[in-house]
C-alpha cells in the first residue's frame, strides 16, 4: 500500500512537472520555443510555409553556408561647428543569418532636441542587431522568407506582425511610410546622451527596475565605427525570451520580451529618471 501511495505521488509529480514545462514555453523567460518568436506557431495560425523539419532557429540562423558573416555599413557624422560631414564605416555582425538583410537605411527619429548626427555624434538606427530585426519587422519581408525561399505569411496574428501591409502595428519600419521617424530612437551611443540633462538618463551602470540580472550597459552593443556602446532594439527586447525577460504585460497578453515590466512604466523609468 505504501509503495502504491509513493508511486501515485511520483506520477502526480511528473504530471505537474510536465504541465509546468509546457506552460513555460512562450511564457515570460520560458525560451523561444512556443513564444511569439517561434515562427512555426505564427505560421500555424496565419498561413505561410512551415519549416519542413519544424525547426525554430532556422527562421533566422543557419549552421552552415550563411550568406555573409558581417555587413559593412556607413553613416555620416556632421561637425556642428563647420557643418562638414564625415563618413564613418562600421560593421554589422550577422550571426550565421539565414535571411536576406536589407542594406539600405530608414528615415530616422530627429527632433529639435535630438539629432546626434548633426551634433557631431554617431547616429544610425540600423547599427548593431537592429538591422537584423528589420529582416522581419521592416513591413516588406515575410517571416517565412529564409534559406533563399520567398515566404507567403501575410496575415496578422496576435503578435501583430504583418509583413506586407503598411500601417500594421509591428511593421515597424514601413519603408513606404514613416520609417523609424515615429519610433523610440536607436543607434546612438548611450553614454554620450547621459551627459545631456535634456534626456534625464540614468548612468549605464545602473540596472533595470525589478530586474537584478541586467544593467543598462549589459544590453548595449559595441559598434566599431561609433567607438562606444550603442542602444539598439535588443537594448529593450530579449528576442530569445531568455530568463532575463521581466515583463508579462497581463493586461494585453503581450510581453514583448522586455527586460522590465510595463506596469508603472518600469521599463521606461529604468533609463529615463524623471526625478533628476
pLDDT in tens, 187-226: 999 999 998 888 899 999 999 999 888 999 999 999 998 8
Where does the chain have alpha helices with state H?
Answer: 2-24, 39-46, 130-137, 190-194, 266-271
- Reduced to 3 states, what is the DSSP secondary structure of residue 88? strand
Quick one: how many helices (H) and strands (E) in the chain? 5, 6
The total of other beta-carbon atoms located within 10 Å of residue 163's CB is 24
Write down the pLDDT at residue 135: 87
* Residue 189: count of CB within 10 angstroms of its CB: 22
CA distance 275 to 258: 23
Q: pLDDT tens across 158-191, in order?
A: 333 433 344 444 456 554 456 788 889 999 999 9
Residue 119 pLDDT: 86
The series of mean pLDDT values per 10 residues for the chain, 276 residues long, is 38 34 53 88 80 94 88 89 91 92 83 88 92 84 85 53 41 61 92 91 95 93 92 94 75 74 91 87
Residue in the structure block whose three cell numbers are 506552460: 23
pLDDT at 122 (0 to 100):
93
Determine the Cα–Cα distance for residues 264 and 262; give it in Å rounded to an integer: 6
Let me know if 143 is exposed, middle or buried by CB neighbors in 10 A (0-12, 13-18, 19+): buried
pLDDT value at position 25? 44
Cβ(261)–Cβ(248) below 8 Å? yes
CB burial of 48-63 (b: ≥16 within 10 Å; e: otherwise) equals bbbbeeeebebbbbbe
pLDDT of residue 254: 65
Contacts of 107 (CB under 8 A, 6+ apart): 178, 179, 180, 181
Quote the pLDDT of residue 174. Answer: 55
Contact 125, 73 (CB under 8 A): no
Amino acid at each position: 500500500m505504501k509503495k502504491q501511495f509513493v508511486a501515485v505521488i511520483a506520477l502526480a509529480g511528473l504530471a505537474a512537472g510536465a504541465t509546468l514545462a509546457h506552460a513555460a514555453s512562450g511564457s515570460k523567460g520560458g525560451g523561444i520555443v512556443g513564444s511569439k518568436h517561434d515562427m512555426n506557431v505564427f505560421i500555424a495560425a496565419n498561413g505561410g510555409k512551415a519549416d519542413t523539419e519544424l525547426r525554430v532557429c532556422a527562421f533566422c540562423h543557419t549552421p552552415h553556408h550563411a550568406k555573409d558573416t558581417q555587413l559593412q555599413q556607413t553613416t555620416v557624422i556632421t561637425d556642428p561647428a563647420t557643418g562638414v560631414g564625415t563618413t564613418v564605416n562600421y560593421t554589422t555582425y550577422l550571426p550565421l543569418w539565414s535571411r536576406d538583410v536589407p542594406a539600405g537605411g530608414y528615415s530616422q527619429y530627429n527632433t529639435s532636441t535630438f539629432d546626434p548626427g548633426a551634433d557631431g555624434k554617431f547616429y544610425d538606427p540600423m547599427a548593431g542587431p537592429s538591422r537584423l530585426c528589420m529582416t522581419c519587422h521592416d513591413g516588406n519581408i515575410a517571416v517565412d522568407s529564409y534559406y533563399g525561399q520567398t515566404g507567403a505569411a501575410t496575415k496578422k496574428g496576435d503578435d501583430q506582425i504583418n509583413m506586407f501591409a503598411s500601417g500594421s502595428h509591428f511593421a515597424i519600419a514601413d519603408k513606404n511610410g514613416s520609417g523609424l521617424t515615429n519610433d523610440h530612437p536607436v543607434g546612438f551611443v548611450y553614454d554620450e546622451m547621459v551627459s545631456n540633462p535634456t534626456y534625464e538618463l540614468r548612468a549605464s551602470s545602473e540596472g533595470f527596475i525589478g530586474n537584478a540580472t541586467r544593467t543598462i550597459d549589459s544590453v548595449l552593443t559595441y559598434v566599431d565605427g561609433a567607438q562606444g556602446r550603442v542602444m539598439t532594439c535588443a537594448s529593450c527586447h530579449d528576442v530569445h525570451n531568455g530568463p532575463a525577460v521581466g515583463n508579462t504585460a497581463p493586461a494585453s497578453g503581450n510581453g514583448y520580451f522586455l527586460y522590465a515590466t510595463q506596469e508603472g512604466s518600469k521599463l521606461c523609468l529604468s533609463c529615463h529618471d524623471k526625478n533628476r
